[in-house]
C-alpha cells in the first residue's frame, strides 16, 4: 500500500528558487522515491499569474509521485495541514534600504506565517527558512507559532554554505566531493558565518588543504555575491539543491555532520559564546527513527575559531534585538 501523502508547502513559489526546488520535491529527491506528495504553493497576489504558469508546467511534467497541487495567495489555505514547509519567499533588500528596515519588513512576513503555522499546520510540521535574513526570520516564525509548534521544528538554511565549502575543499584537494565530510558552517547565514574546515576529512583522512585559511573562509562567505556578479541573478539552482538536501536529511536522517541553523537553547557551545535563544548554525546529525536533529557535541576549536564563532553569535544577538523591537508592529 502506498504511504499517506506528505503535504509540502513552498512559499515564494513563483520565484527563482521555487522554480528549481519544485522539481526536486516532485521527483522524490526529498521525501523518498516512493513517497507521494501534495504540493502547496504560496506567493503574493501580484504574482498569481506567474504562479498559475508554474502550475501549468508542473502539470505538464506528469510527476508520478505528485497527487495534487494547491496554488494560492491565501496563507490559511497554504499552511493548512502541512507536514513540511520551505519558507523561501521574503522581502528582498531594495537599493538604499537599511538593514533595520529590511528586518522590520521580514518580521511582518514571518510573524504572519508563524501565526498561520500555529493556526493551520500540523504540530509536527518541519519548517526550513530559506528567505533572508534566514536565521532571524526562522526565530520570528517560531516565536509566533510557539503555543503549538516546538522551537526545534524551525530551522534556517546554511546547507548552501556547507555545500559551497565542501565542493571548494574537494577541488583544492583533488578528491571526489562525496568523500569530503565534517565541513561545518557556524552561526549566521551572512558574511559573519564561520566556514570551518579544520575537522574536514576525505574518506576519513585529514585533508592537506584544510584548517583556517583566510582565502577559503572569505571565498565561501562571498560566494553568493560572486554568483550575482557573474549571473546577474542570485544563486537559485544551488540554493534549491541545498534546501532539498537539508529537508531530505531532516526527514530521512543522517549520521554525517550537516550544518543546520537550529535553536541554540541548551547548546554544547555556550562556553564559546553561543547564547541560548538564537537560530544558530551548528554541525548536526539526525536520528532516522525519530527524525530529530541533535547538535554534535565536543567539536574542537582553537582561539581563531572561537573568535569567529563569538562574532557571528554577536551579530545574531543584535539581529534578534532589532527584530524583537519590530515585533511590536507585527
Point out the residues that are catalytic.
189
Q: Which of 219, 234, 317, 327 binds ligand NAX (CB under 6 A)?
A: 234
Check residue 130 for interaction with ligand NAX (CB under 6 A): yes
Q: How far apart are CA 17 and CA 171, in angstroms?
A: 25
CB of 87 vs ligand NAX, minimal distance in Å: 8
Residues paired with residue 263 on neighbouring β-strands, in sequence order: 279
Distance CA 102, CA 24 (A): 30
Angstrom distance (rounded) from CA 232 to CA 206: 37
Nearer of residues 42 and 66 to ligand NAX, judged by Cβ = 42
Q: If phi over 0 gives left and psi between -120 and 50 gives alpha, with beta otherwise, what is residue 12?
A: left
Give residues 70-99 in contact with ligand NAX (rule: CB under 6 A). Answer: 88-90, 92
CB of 24 to ligand NAX, least distance (A): 14
What are the two backbone dihedrals, phi and then psi, of residue 267, each rounded to the nearest 5 degrees? Answer: -70, 155
Contact 136, 319 (CB under 8 A): yes
Q: With contacts defined by CB under 6 A, how many residues of the chain interact with ligand NAX?
A: 28
Which of 25, 43, 241, 284: binder of ligand NAX (CB under 6 A)? 43
Burial classification of residue 256, based on how many CB atoms lie within 10 Å of its CB (0-12 exposed, 13-18 middle, 19 or more buried): exposed
- 132 burial (CB, 10 Å; 0-12 / 13-18 / 19+) is buried
**Cβ at position 110, least distance to ligand NAX in Å:** 9
Member of 8, 17, 26, 141 binding ligand NAX (CB under 6 A):
17
Nearest-approach distance from CB 175 to ligand NAX, in angstroms: 24
Residue 253 DSSP one-character state: -
* Residue among 36 and 224 whose Cβ is closer to ligand NAX: 224
d(CA 183, CA 162): 7
Q: 3-state class of 297 per DSSP? A: coil
CA 229 to chain centre: 23
Confirm or reject binding of residue 15 to ligand NAX (CB under 6 A): yes
Alpha helix segments (H runs only) across 74-207: 75-79, 99-120, 134-144, 159-173
| Closest distance of CB 44 from ligand NAX, Å | 5
Span 207-226, contacts to ligand NAX by CB under 6 A:
224
Quick one: which of 69, 72, 121, 132 contacts ligand NAX (CB under 6 A)? 132
| Binding of residue 187 to ligand NAX (CB under 6 A) | no
With binding defined as CB under 6 A, does residue 313 bind ligand NAX?
A: no
Per-residue x/- marks for ligand NAX, 101-120, CB under 6 A? --------x-----------
Measured N-to-C along each axis, helices 214-221 and 223-231 cross at an angle, to the nearest 10 degrees, of 50
**Positions that interact with ligand NAX (CB under 6 A):** 11-12, 14-18, 42-44, 47, 88-90, 92, 109, 130-132, 134, 157, 160, 189, 224, 234-236, 239
Amino acid at each position: 500500500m502506498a504511504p499517506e501523502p506528505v503535504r509540502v508547502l513552498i512559499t515564494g513559489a513563483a520565484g527563482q528558487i521555487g522554480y528549481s526546488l519544485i522539481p526536486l520535491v516532485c521527483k522524490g529527491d526529498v521525501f523518498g522515491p516512493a513517497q507521494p506528495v501534495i504540493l502547496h504553493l504560496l506567493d503574493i497576489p501580484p504574482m498569481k499569474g506567474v504562479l498559475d504558469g508554474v502550475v501549468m508546467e508542473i502539470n505538464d511534467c506528469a510527476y508520478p509521485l505528485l497527487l495534487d497541487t494547491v496554488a494560492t495567495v491565501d496563507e490559511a489555505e497554504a499552511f493548512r495541514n502541512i507536514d513540511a514547509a520551505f519558507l523561501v519567499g521574503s522581502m528582498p533588500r531594495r537599493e538604499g534600504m537599511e538593514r533595520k528596515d529590511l528586518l522590520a519588513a521580514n518580521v511582518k512576513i514571518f510573524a504572519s506565517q508563524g501565526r498561520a503555522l500555529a493556526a493551520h499546520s500540523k504540530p509536527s510540521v518541519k519548517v526550513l527558512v530559506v528567505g533572508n535574513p534566514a536565521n532571524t526570520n526562522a526565530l520570528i516564525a517560531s516565536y509566533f507559532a510557539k503555543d503549538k509548534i516546538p522551537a526545534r521544528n524551525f530551522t534556517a538554511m546554511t546547507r548552501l554554505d556547507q555545500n559551497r565549502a565542501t565542493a571548494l575543499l574537494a577541488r583544492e584537494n583533488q578528491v571526489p566531493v562525496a568523500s569530503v565530510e565534517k565541513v561545518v558552517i557556524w552561526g549566521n547565514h551572512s558574511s559573519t558565518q564561520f566556514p570551518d574546515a579544520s575537522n574536514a576529512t576525505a574518506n576519513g583522512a585529514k585533508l592537506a588543504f584544510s584548517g583556517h585559511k583566510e582565502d577559503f573562509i572569505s571565498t565561501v562567505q562571498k560566494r553568493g555575491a560572486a554568483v550575482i556578479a557573474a549571473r546577474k541573478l542570485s544563486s537559485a539552482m544551488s540554493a534549491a539543491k541545498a534546501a532539498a538536501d537539508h529537508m531530505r536529511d531532516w526527514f530521512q536522517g543522517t549520521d554525517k555532520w550537516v550544518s543546520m541553523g537550529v535553536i541554540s537553547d541548551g547548546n554544547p557551545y555556550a562556553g564559546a559564546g553561543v547564547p541560548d535563544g538564537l537560530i544558530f548554525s551548528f554541525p548536526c546529525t539526525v536520528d532516522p527513527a525519530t527524525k530529530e536533529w541533535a547538535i554534535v557535541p565536543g567539536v574542537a576549536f582553537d582561539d581563531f575559531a572561537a573568535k569567529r564563532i563569538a562574532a557571528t553569535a554577536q551579530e545574531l544577538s543584535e539581529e534578534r534585538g532589532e527584530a524583537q523591537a519590530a515585533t511590536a508592529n507585527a
